[in-house]
């Protein structure tokens, strides 16, 4: 694989704009290469070159090889003249940047190389600035984790009440703080002298000193003590004189912290809405200690992932600059890469080691406090391995897919050969059995669409696992989803085939019912909460089929193949309720987000779902009572709900139809390179949105049963939802890219009283 593709494949998707634009720099080099080829003098024939060497002066047999002259031995004048570029550090408005002066601009084609170096400087300054800002962010977060660890260890002391000196733990808990302070000092010390001189401000680091305990001897190893005392000689940090006096006793830390309510429940939401006081006082129980440890464990894992991505970001960009400069030297026959890479190595991007130090300290802290000093166990949690693609999964998926296709063909051939649909019981079968098995058809189709979503999300680098909040290494691939869907399809089709021709027992007048109950034990595959509700809105017919399942088997209709469910008022009432539940859940989510975020868009979204609830209820009422009044009202509200929902899908959820975007009537950034795909998706979404209006219009096809028509419309809605899923997550991913949002914010268990910190 070429480096450009490998470089793109290893990028953090949300940071892709912060990486060096390797392809653009490569295109500039191609322009230089094309110019060189146009102006290249005719090459000397190889035979002539060989003959010319015959007339050179003889060098002798015993002459020693001369060693190359070192750069220090050459004169400065010759050294400057041999250089192609000169890289300088420039400070503007308190920020540092680098500028490359191309010394060969007078050469033929020098203007092309001048443009190349200007673009190269822009890319490097962008990368260096972004990296420095992210390192500063993780430094602040590390300082916050220091305070959380102080509180955790003090909390642990109160709960477990260990015998002996507890200062042994205080030594370990402050080592991370020591490294953060040293790294923060190195952040300032790593800048060039010119930039550092302009902002020479005495820096104060509130490092917690190690204190000797009078409660008992310390059992810390001498290696740990020596490690704490290590100080970077090149970095001098001005320490406050009263550090020892202002440092509170470890147990006194608990007087300045409160518990954060990080677990939202319906009960806590109602209390917050009614302004009930929230219990934040510390309760020293082992149950609370376990919760605190779990929360901090997740915070450390997420923090470590940030450090890993930052380290990979620095390495990839440094490698990319090295590769592009080597290409430049090869094309122009110059030796500029050495000078430029020397600047890269001396810059903050290439010389800072704060991230590496923090990674080492996070590993040591996590292993000691959260994995019982078991390094293997701790590193497995910090560095989860990627899920390996198994050939067994692919083989099983293909096997079940073949079985599903074979059973489908067998079902069609049996129905045609036995002329089942023309028999007297065909209508009864379609009314009773078809809704039962169509339920599994809806589920299988939805799973296949989700598998297709995963395939295309991966192909176009949509970070769906981050958006969904999946734990790294545990997300299912499209092969696993297809395996589940085809396995479910095989079981459902086998049950359908076994129940096509059931004979009645002459003694009991009952039908054989064992095989009918087989699919009843199968379960659904669910998505995360915020995405699941939208999926359920496209499975209304599946919910109604599930309701029919309960009625058909619960009330004993399956024994005589009779359908008396429609005659029950309870069944008809729940026929309304199950259709409204998915939209009602989305409406409640919108109202909750409106209350928490104060975002008016959530209110408008709630109105959309309210209109849909009214439309679905009116269509259901019309299906039970075929009156002209119900039909008119259902038609009006269904059309309004469809128009509003279509606009929301395309403009809000997909972010399309932007008049002033770079891509006319689309949006500025598109992951799919073909614009026709987006226009086709918009047209298809409109058509499929209005497909279910046939339930109001009463359209019927002569060769299709009414239940078959309902099932087809439900399948079209599931297909529309699958298309919606891809573009919805694409838009969400692009929003994350625009905000460089590559991490989830992990709630911390303790909340410090900052006012008391300032007073101290």
436 and 375 within one domain: no
- 237 has pLDDT over 70: no
**Residues 345 and 400 reside in one and the same domain:** no
The predicted pLDDT at position 405 comes to 92
Please give the residue that has the higher pLDDT: either 218 or 321: 321
Q: How far is CA 371 from CA 216, 429, 629, in A?
A: 26, 60, 68
Same-domain check for residues 332 and 452: no
Q: Is residue 622 part of a domain?
A: yes
In a domain, 350, yes or no: yes
Summarised one tens digit per residue, pLDDT across range 87-106 is: 888 877 667 788 888 887 77
Residue 77 domain-assigned? no
Given a cut of 60, whether residue 400 has pLDDT beyond it is yes
Domain boundary pick from 360, 383, 406: 383
163-176 pLDDT, tens digit per residue, is 544 444 444 445 55
733, 701 Cβ separation under 8 angstroms: no
Tokens of 504: 């009645």
- Say whether both 371 and 405 belong to one domain: no
495 is a domain residue: yes
220 within a domain of the structure (yes/no)? no
- 634 and 527 housed in the same domain: yes
Distance CA 342, CA 89 (A): 13
Looking at the fold, whether 552 and 471 belong to one and the same domain comes out as yes
Instruction: Let me know if residue 156 belongs to a domain.
Output: yes
pLDDT score, position 561: 62
Q: Rounded distance, CA 57 to CA 49, Å?
A: 15
Q: Which of 557, 554, 439 is nearest to 496 (CA)?
A: 439
pTM value? Answer: 0.71
Over residues 736-756, the mean pLDDT reads 69
Q: Are residues 243 and 199 in the same domain?
A: yes
Residue 640 — pLDDT band, cuts 50, 70, 90?
very high
Last residue of a domain, one of 351, 383, 415: 383
The residue that leads in pLDDT, 748 or 477, is 477
Co-location of 348 and 413 in the same domain: no
Task: pLDDT band for 326, please (50, 70, 90 cuts).
Answer: very high
Res. 446 pLDDT band, cuts 50 70 90: very high
Considering the domain architecture, whether residues 681 and 731 belong to the same structural domain is answered as yes
Pair 283, 415 in one domain: no
What is the chain's mean pLDDT, rounded? Answer: 75
Among residues 529, 454, 530, which one has the least CA distance to residue 485? Answer: 454
What mean pLDDT is predicted for residues 130-158? 88
Count helices and strands in the chain by DSSP H and E runs: 29, 4
Residues 6+ apart with CB under 8 A from 721: 446, 449, 534, 535, 537, 538
Assess if residue 417 is contained within a domain.
yes
The whole-number average pLDDT for the span 572-580 is 86
Percent of the chain with pLDDT over 70: 69
Residues 30, 109: one domain?
yes
Give the range among 41-45, 399-403, 438-442, 479-483 with minimum mean pLDDT.
41-45
Q: Show the domain range for 18.
A: 1-39+85-211+238-383
Confidence of residue 61 (pLDDT cuts 50, 70, 90): low
As a whole number, mean pLDDT of residues 565-574 equals 80
Q: Structurally, how many domains does the chain consist of?
A: 2
| pLDDT surpassing 70 at residue 320 | yes
Domain-terminating residue out of 364, 383, 402: 383
Question: What is d(CA 114, CA 436) in angstroms, rounded to the nearest whole number?
Answer: 72
Task: Name the least confident of 25-29, 285-289, 395-399.
Answer: 285-289
Residues 731 and 663 in one domain: yes
Q: How far is CA 74 from the centre of its chain?
A: 54
Domain membership of residue 511 (yes or no) is yes
Residues 318 and 341: their CA atoms lie apart, in Å, by: 9
């Amino acid at each position: 694989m070429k480096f450009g593709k490998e470089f793109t494949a290893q990028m953090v998707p949300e940071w892709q704009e912060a990486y060096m634009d390797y392809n653009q720099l490569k295109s500039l080099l191609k322009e230089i290469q094309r110019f060189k080829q146009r102006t290249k003098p005719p090459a000397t024939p190889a035979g002539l070159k060989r003959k010319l060497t015959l007339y050179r002066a003889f060098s002798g047999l015993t002459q020693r090889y001369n060693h190359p002259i070192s750069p220090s031995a050459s004169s400065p004048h010759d050294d400057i003249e041999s250089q192609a570029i000169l890289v300088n550090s420039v400070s503007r408005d308190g920020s540092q940047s680098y500028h490359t002066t191309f010394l060969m601009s007078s050469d033929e084609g020098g203007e092309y190389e001048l443009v190349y170096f200007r673009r190269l400087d822009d890319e490097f300054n962008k990368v260096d600035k972004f990296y420095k800002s992210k390192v500063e962010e993780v430094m602040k977060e590390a300082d916050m984790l220091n305070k959380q660890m102080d509180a955790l260890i003090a909390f642990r002391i109160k709960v477990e009440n260990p015998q002996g000196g507890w200062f042994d733990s205080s030594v370990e808990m402050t080592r991370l703080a020591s490294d953060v302070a040293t790294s923060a000092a190195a952040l300032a010390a790593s800048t060039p002298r010119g930039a550092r001189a302009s902002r020479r401000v005495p820096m104060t680091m509130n490092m917690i000193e190690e204190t000797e305990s009078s409660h008992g001897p310390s059992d810390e190893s001498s290696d740990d003590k020596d490690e704490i005392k290590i100080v970077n000689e090149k970095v001098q940090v001005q320490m406050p004189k009263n550090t020892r006096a202002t440092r509170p006793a470890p147990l006194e830390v608990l007087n300045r912290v409160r518990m954060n309510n990080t677990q939202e429940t319906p009960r806590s939401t109602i209390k917050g809405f009614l302004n009930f006081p929230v219990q934040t006082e510390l309760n020293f129980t082992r149950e609370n200690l376990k919760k605190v440890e779990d929360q901090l464990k997740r915070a450390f894992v997420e923090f470590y992932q940030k450090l890993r991505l930052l380290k990979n970001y620095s390495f990839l960009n440094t490698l990319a600059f090295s590769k592009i400069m080597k290409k430049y030297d090869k094309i122009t026959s110059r030796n500029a890469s050495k000078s430029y890479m020397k600047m890269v190595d001396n810059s903050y991007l290439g010389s800072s080691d704060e991230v590496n130090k923090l990674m080492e300290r996070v590993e040591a802290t996590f292993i000691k406090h959260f994995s019982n000093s078991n390094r293997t166990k701790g590193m497995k949690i910090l560095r989860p391995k990627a899920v390996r693609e198994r050939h067994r999964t692919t083989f099983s998926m293909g096997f079940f897919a073949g079985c599903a296709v074979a059973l489908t063909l067998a079902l069609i051939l049996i129905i045609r050969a036995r002329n089942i649909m023309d028999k007297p019981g065909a209508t009864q079968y379609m009314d009773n059995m078809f809704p039962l098995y169509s339920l599994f058809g809806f589920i299988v189709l939805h799973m296949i669409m989700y598998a297709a979503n995963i395939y295309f999300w991966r192909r176009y680098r949509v970070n769906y696992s981050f958006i969904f909040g999946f734990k790294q290494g545990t997300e299912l691939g499209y092969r696993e989803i297809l395996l589940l869907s085809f396995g479910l399809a095989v079981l459902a089709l086998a049950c359908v085939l076994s129940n096509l021709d059931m004979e009645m027992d002459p003694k009991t007048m009952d039908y054989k019912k064992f095989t009918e109950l087989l699919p009843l034990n199968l379960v659904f595959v669910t998505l995360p909460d915020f995405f699941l509700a939208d999926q359920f809105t496209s499975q209304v017919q599946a919910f109604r089929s599930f309701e029919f399942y309960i009625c058909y088997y619960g009330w004993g209709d399956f024994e005589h193949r009779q359908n008396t469910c429609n005659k029950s008022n309870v069944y008809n009432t729940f026929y309304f309720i199950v259709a409204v539940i998915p939209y009602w859940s989305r409406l409640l989510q919108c109202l909750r987000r409106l209350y928490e975020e104060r975002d008016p868009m959530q209110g408008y979204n709630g109105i959309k779902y309210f209109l849909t609830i009214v439309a679905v209820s009116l269509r259901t009422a019309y299906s039970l009572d075929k009156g002209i009044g119900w039909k008119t009202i259902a038609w009006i509200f269904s059309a309004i709900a469809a128009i509003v929902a279509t606009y929301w899908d395309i403009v809000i959820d997909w972010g399309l139809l932007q008049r002033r975007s770079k891509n006319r009537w689309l949006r500025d950034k598109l992951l799919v390179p073909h614009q026709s795909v987006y226009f086709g998706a918009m047209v298809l979404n409109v058509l499929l949105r209005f497909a279910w209006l046939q339930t109001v219009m009463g359209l019927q096809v002569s060769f299709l049963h009414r239940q078959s028509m309902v099932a087809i419309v439900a399948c079209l809605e599931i297909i529309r939802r699958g298309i919606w899923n891809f573009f919805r997550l694409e838009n969400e991913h692009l929003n994350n890219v625009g905000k460089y949002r590559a991490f989830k914010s992990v709630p911390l268990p303790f909340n410090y009283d900052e006012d008391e910190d300032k007073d101290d």
